[in-house]
Chains A and B, each alone.
Chain A
Amino acid sequence: METVVALLSGLLTAAAVWLMLSGNLLRFLFGLLLLSNAVNLAIFAAGRLTEGAPPLLGADGALPGHEMANSLPQALLLTAIVIGFGLFAFALGLTIRAYRSFGHLEIDRMRLAEPEEGEK
């Protein structure tokens, strides 16, 4: 199972890098979204995958005899997903503003803050 998740995470990263290098702001953002999901999967897998093993202790607080899920990576993931969602929403809003201001989303043509030599 870990192998599949690891491969999926790698695949998402590859797609993300390809999108992020395309030079278009919107594609860049989609790439970033894929990348953060790839990272989420990696964290999930790094915390060891278990199947149908609830993260519950026995009645007296003793460790149960069977396998136990690790709930901490899932808590980390939830936090990361929520934060990532907020940041992505802001970035999308910024993209809309950028499109309204410049009329395009080509990153290489956004030189307003850093004009090239000679065009002031």
Chain B
Amino acid sequence: MSWTLALPILVPFVTAALAFLLRNRRGSGWISVAGAVVSLVLAIRLLLAVLEHGVVATQMSAWAAPFGITLVADYLGAAMVLITAIIGLAVAVWAMAEVGQTSARLGWHGLFQTLIGGVTGAFLTGDLFNLYVWFEVLLISSFVLLVIGGRKKAIDGAVKYVTLNLISTVLFLCAAGLTYGATGTLNMADLRAAVSAHPDQGLMTVIAMMFMIGFGLKAAVFPLFFWLPASYHTPHYAVSAVFAGLLTKVGVYALIRVFTLIFVGDQGYTHEILLWVACLTMLTGVLGAAAQSDFRKILSFHIISQIGYMVLGLALMTPLAVMGGVFYLLHHIIVKANLFLIAGVSRRLTGSSDLYVIGGLYRSAPLLAALFLIPAFSLAGFPPLSGFWAKYVLVKASLDLGQGLVAFVALLTGLLTIYSMTKIWAEAFWKAHPDQRQPALSAIPTRARWLLLSPIIALAAMTVLIGLIPEPFVTFATTGAEQLLDPSAYIATVLGGDAP
């Protein structure tokens, strides 16, 4: 058994246990930060292994595939693990200044690490039922994180989040069970051959649709997104940053995995639906955001519209489009988590997230204003930031296929995104504060200020870096997309025994 694949999952859980045991001590958050640093190192190690071998796989307890549980990382999986570790570290540091002693005593840091562990597990597993288990791990910790502190508004948001996510879970479980009943295997690599060899392809498409609805609910695509804008603006800012960055993307990842690896038999049907879903998701998300006047609510609706771009990459299914989807996924996680962190600092300085009662940040906190512009413009797709390349590739891929309407929707969504970002800029940063408050960054104690700002600066630097030197990232995403569209290496590694 190779530890390269197992350790990135184990470390967050060990950290969670330690943080939970020592939750009453002051500074229990440092355990979480230390664990996140170790996770980051392990994730880089995994990525290097994947760069060297293409795909790495290991069988848990040495039960040969397809009978045991497989852990496997290809380019996409390893990149997702790395980005999870990056966001995990950024939010763990940020949370040191933001999560109070009361929440820490309730086990906030431990739960946060459990969530990160669950997300990492979902990205690394090669077994469909195991994926369900990881979904449950991250779901239950996200439930508790959502309501910790117990404000009325958070309870209200949690009711919708919990109920709709439970339905998606039941659907996923049912689909996994039926898949097993029909094919006799749950190993994802083994399933590809088993599904395409099944005599009743209609039945396979039915099961595929159940997966699409189950994962679609998790990914918050049209018309299944209602839980997201109902809940993401209610919890701690640190919680909503990690939710916004990672959780819906687990759904997108699962969609990409299942619809490139397993259910590719009837693409005329499944991917056509995904294409429509992608376009409608982009439009509804961005239009919903235009109607909002709360910092976090605007950002929440933008998560939905951005999910549309990623699903679009999957729906078009050409090498260029899937590459665009993968690139978008990676770029978006950094940008979105960063915007929520900035919203948190803005809330701390101005006292509210309602755009009509705050303002003056440009004059009193110019550093924060500059830091906001980077992810905001990247989200809208301004060159030379990371979002520009992601959008450019997807639009080009749609035009190559003659899908002019799709390209138009993608461009229109980008344009309307600028509208929302301008609104936040004008209301929160540009105009004077209605109560003449001067919300300066220096009002925050020095230690807390650096804990809050350093993750934001680091994430913004990554956005700029990807934008200025896109070449290695594009090459990486291209190889990742090739692996997704031709999973023969993935299948050979998983079924071929214990790789290094």
Tell me the A residues contacting B by CB distance below 8 Å: 25, 28-29, 32, 35-36, 39, 42-43, 45-48, 72-73, 76, 79-80, 83, 86-87, 90-91, 94-95, 97-98, 101-102, 107, 110-114
B172-220 at interface with A (beta carbon < 8 Å): 173-174, 176-178, 180-182
Contact between A47 and B181, CB atoms less than 8 A apart: yes
Contacts of A43 in B (CB 8 A): 173-174, 177-178, 180-181
In the docked arrangement, what's the CA distance between A112 and B140, Å? Answer: 23
- Return the contact of A110 from the options B154, B159, B173, B233 (Cβ within 8 A): B159
The stretch of B9-17, B110-118, B142-150, B319-327 in contact with A is B142-150
- Return the contact of B155 from the options A47, A76, A98, A111 (Cβ within 8 A): A98
Q: A35-B170, A76-B129 are in contact. Are A94 and B180 (CB under 8 A)?
A: no
Contact between A86 and B140, CB atoms less than 8 A apart: yes
> Which of A32, A47, A83, A102: most chain B CB closer than 10 A?
A83
Contact between B140 and A94, CB atoms less than 8 A apart: no
In the docked arrangement, what's the CA distance between A104 and B160, Å? Answer: 15
In the docked arrangement, what's the CA distance between A113 and B240, Å? Answer: 14
Top-4 shortest CB links A-B: A46-B181, A43-B177, A112-B156, A39-B174
Chain A CB within 8 A of B166 CB = yes
Nearest-neighbour CB distance to chain A for B300, whole angstroms, equals 11
Sample of 4 more A-B contacts, CB < 8 Å, known A32-B166, A36-B173, A87-B136: A48-B181, A86-B140, A97-B147, A113-B160
In the docked arrangement, what's the CA distance between A39 and B180, Å? Answer: 13
Contacts of A113 in B (CB 8 A): 153-154, 156-157, 160, 230-231, 233-234
Q: A42-B178, A72-B180, A113-B233 are in contact. Are A87 and B155 (CB under 8 A)?
A: no
Q: A43-B177, A46-B181, A90-B144 are in contact. Are A114 and B159 (CB under 8 A)?
A: no
Interface of A is mostly: helix
Contact between B152 and A101, CB atoms less than 8 A apart: yes
Contact between A114 and B147, CB atoms less than 8 A apart: no
Contacts of B381 in A (CB 8 A): none
Contact between A32 and B170, CB atoms less than 8 A apart: yes
- Closest chain B residue to A46, Cβ basis: B181
Contact between A94 and B158, CB atoms less than 8 A apart: yes
Q: A94-B147, A97-B155, A101-B155 are in contact. Are A73 and B173 (CB under 8 A)?
A: no
Contacts of A90 in B (CB 8 A): 140, 143-144, 162
In the docked arrangement, what's the CA distance between A47 and B167, Å? Answer: 22
Contact between A73 and B180, CB atoms less than 8 A apart: yes
Q: A39-B170, A43-B173, A86-B140 are in contact. Are A91 and B163 (CB under 8 A)?
A: yes
Contacts of B162 in A (CB 8 A): 90-91, 94
Contacts of B181 in A (CB 8 A): 43, 45-48, 73
Contacts of B182 in A (CB 8 A): 46
In the docked arrangement, what's the CA distance between A85 and B140, Å? Answer: 12
In the docked arrangement, what's the CA distance between A68 and B160, Å? Answer: 44
- Closest chain B residue to A16, Cβ basis: B170
In the docked arrangement, what's the CA distance between A111 and B159, Å? Answer: 11
In the docked arrangement, what's the CA distance between A28 and B230, Å? Answer: 18
Contacts of A28 in B (CB 8 A): 163
In the docked arrangement, what's the CA distance between A47 and B63, Å? Answer: 21
- Return the contact of A76 from the options B136, B140, B152, B177 (Cβ within 8 A): B177
- 28 cross-chain CB contacts under 8 A: A25-B159, A28-B163, A32-B166, A32-B167, A39-B170, A42-B174, A42-B177, A43-B177, A43-B178, A76-B176, A83-B136, A87-B166, A90-B144, A90-B162, A91-B163, A91-B166, A94-B143, A94-B162, A95-B159, A101-B155, A102-B156, A110-B159, A111-B156, A112-B156, A113-B153, A113-B157, A113-B234, A114-B230
Contacts of A32 in B (CB 8 A): 163, 166-167, 170
Contacts of B371 in A (CB 8 A): none
- Return the contact of A87 from the options B139, B154, B157 (Cβ within 8 A): B139
Nearest-neighbour CB distance to chain A for B63, whole angstroms, equals 12
Nearest-neighbour CB distance to chain A for B291, whole angstroms, equals 10
Chain A CB within 8 A of B439 CB = no
Contact between A112 and B152, CB atoms less than 8 A apart: yes
Nearest-neighbour CB distance to chain B for A105, whole angstroms, equals 9
In the docked arrangement, what's the CA distance between A76 and B128, Å? Answer: 11
Contact between A87 and B169, CB atoms less than 8 A apart: yes
In the docked arrangement, what's the CA distance between A80 and B178, Å? Answer: 14
> Which of B162, B170, B233: most chain A CB closer than 10 A?
B170
**B102-136 near A? 1/0 per residue, CB < 8 Å:** 00000000000000000000000000010011001
Nearest-neighbour CB distance to chain A for B64, whole angstroms, equals 15
Nearest-neighbour CB distance to chain B for A3, whole angstroms, equals 15
Chain A CB within 8 A of B251 CB = no
Contacts of B170 in A (CB 8 A): 32, 35-36, 39
Nearest-neighbour CB distance to chain A for B298, whole angstroms, equals 14
Chain A CB within 8 A of B480 CB = no
B220-247 at interface with A (beta carbon < 8 Å): 229-231, 233-234
Contact between B177 and A87, CB atoms less than 8 A apart: no
Nearest-neighbour CB distance to chain B for A34, whole angstroms, equals 10
Contact between B136 and A39, CB atoms less than 8 A apart: no
Contacts of B231 in A (CB 8 A): 113
Contacts of B233 in A (CB 8 A): 113
Contact between B153 and A112, CB atoms less than 8 A apart: yes
In the docked arrangement, what's the CA distance between A91 and B166, Å? Answer: 9
> Which of B178, B182, B229: most chain A CB closer than 10 A?
B178
Contact between B177 and A46, CB atoms less than 8 A apart: yes
Contact between A98 and B173, CB atoms less than 8 A apart: no
In the docked arrangement, what's the CA distance between A86 and B152, Å? Answer: 23
- Closest chain A residue to B178, Cβ basis: A46
- Return the contact of A98 from the options B136, B159, B230 (Cβ within 8 A): B159
